[in-house]
Amino acid sequence: MIEIKNVTKKYGDFTAVDNISLNVEKGDVFAFLGPNGAGKTTTIKMLTTLLNPTSGEIYLDGHNVMEKPSETRKSFGIVFQDPSLDNELTAYENMQFHAILYGISKDVYIDRIKKLLELVELTDRKDSYVKTFSGGMKRRLEIARGLLHHPKVLFLDEPTIGLDPQTRNHIWNYVKKLNEEEKVTIFFTTHHMEEVERYGHTIAIIDHGKIIEQGTIDEIRKKAGTDSIEDAFIKLTGRQIRAEASNFSKSTLRGFRGM
């Protein structure tokens, strides 16, 4: 469903994404993990036609993302990490804008908006201007809007950041249902490793713009020799610091990574 081939993104001299290659199968729930600044959001921006790679090729649902951006955009939906709401509109208007932009028919969107606003518990504030919302409320609205149309691939860039466990649970159940019932491929990033264990299937870990590990949850745990993804993540991404601090030899590292 998603194919990334030798993709590099440079901002001036700085290489944010360094020659990565990835495959995400149709119907997968793919967790794209990495510490802050690893290059996750940059990768997602390239996948969603917002940013052109410096080099490499990307295919999404069979479309070459750079050459056929319009076709590509028909295949995905996204919840951005950063705010992207219109503060001068009401919550409902933001949802409606999205629905019309995506060509959802009126009887479908009226129903869905209602359901999604209930899901994120914003029904009673639907006619308030977004500028009067708290950070958490904006986040919830942002997610509800992202779930409004049912694409083939759904990108979720740290969707649950700053949300309470109940809301996170609601949202994830909805996403899981989308994945199971409509075979929507999910590509998400998060810092909550329990979300990965609970909902994720395949994982890639990126650090300093490079993919350092990929596989299923079990494979990653096995390779890292840890019981949890959290420990595996720390072990793998903490690697470089330890290597510098304690003279870990390259071969030890390779053995430790099981390669």
Partner 1 sequence: MRTIYILWIRQLKRFIRKRASLIGALGQPLIFLIAFGFGLSPVFARAGQGNYIQFIGPGIIAMTILFTSIFTGTEVIWDKQFGFLKETFVAPVSRFEILLGKTLGGATVAAIQGILVFFITLAVGFRPHSLVMLPLALLYLVLIAVLFSAVGVAIAARLEDMQGFPLIINFVIQPLFYLSSALFPVQGLPKILGFITTINPLSYGVDGMRYALSGSSHFSPWLSLGVLSAFLIAALAVGIYQFRRIQL
The DSSP code for 169 is: H
Residues that bind partner 1 (CB under 8 A): 45, 48-52, 70, 73-74, 76, 78, 80, 82-89, 93, 97-98, 100-103, 145
- Pick between residue 96 and residue 202 the one whose CB is nearest to ligand ADP: 202
Stretch that binds Mg ion, among 37-45, 61-69, 118-126, 145-153 (CB under 5 A): 37-45
Q: Hey, which bits of the chain come out as E strands?
A: 2-11, 14-24, 29-33, 55-60, 63-64, 76-79, 153-157, 185-189, 202-207, 210-216
Q: How far is CA 144 from CA 29, 59, 107, in A?
A: 19, 27, 17
Q: Is 41 in the site for Mg ion (CB under 5 A)?
A: yes
Q: Considering the complex, what minimum distance in angstroms separates the CB of residue 97 from partner 1? A: 6
Stretch that binds Mg ion, among 39-47, 49-57, 109-117, 133-141 (CB under 5 A): 39-47
Stretch that binds Mg ion, among 35-43, 88-96, 108-116, 223-231 (CB under 5 A): 35-43
| Cα 180 from chain centre | 17
Q: Is 202 in the site for Mg ion (CB under 5 A)?
A: no
- Pick between residue 68 and residue 201 the one whose CB is nearest to partner 1: 68
Q: Considering the complex, what minimum distance in angstroms separates the CB of residue 225 from partner 1? A: 40
Separation of alpha carbons 215 and 227, rounded Å: 15
Token code pair at residue 148: 């409004």
Separation of alpha carbons 18 and 221, rounded Å: 25
Stretch that binds Mg ion, among 74-82, 101-109, 177-185, 235-243 (CB under 5 A): 74-82
- Pick between residue 51 and residue 217 the one whose CB is nearest to ligand ADP: 51
The number of residues that bind Mg ion (CB under 5 A) is 3
Residues in 78-97 at the binding interface with Mg ion, rule: CB under 5 A: 81
Q: Considering the complex, what minimum distance in angstroms separates the CB of residue 17 from ligand ADP? A: 7
Q: Is 43 in the site for Mg ion (CB under 5 A)?
A: no
Closest-CA residue to 21 (of 56, 67, 61, 64): 56
End-to-end CA distance of the chain: 26
Q: Considering the complex, what minimum distance in angstroms separates the CB of residue 215 from ligand ADP? A: 20
Q: Considering the complex, what minimum distance in angstroms separates the CB of residue 18 from partner 1? A: 19
The answer to whether the CB of 189 falls within 8 A of the CB of 157 is yes
Q: Which partner in Mg ion, partner 1, ligand ADP, none is near 131 (CB below 5 to 8 A by kind)?
A: none
Q: Residue 188 contacts by C-beta under 8 Å, 6 or more apart in sequence?
A: 29, 30, 31, 32, 155, 156, 157, 159, 200
Separation of alpha carbons 180 and 174, rounded Å: 10
* Binding residues vs Mg ion (CB under 5 A): 40-41, 81
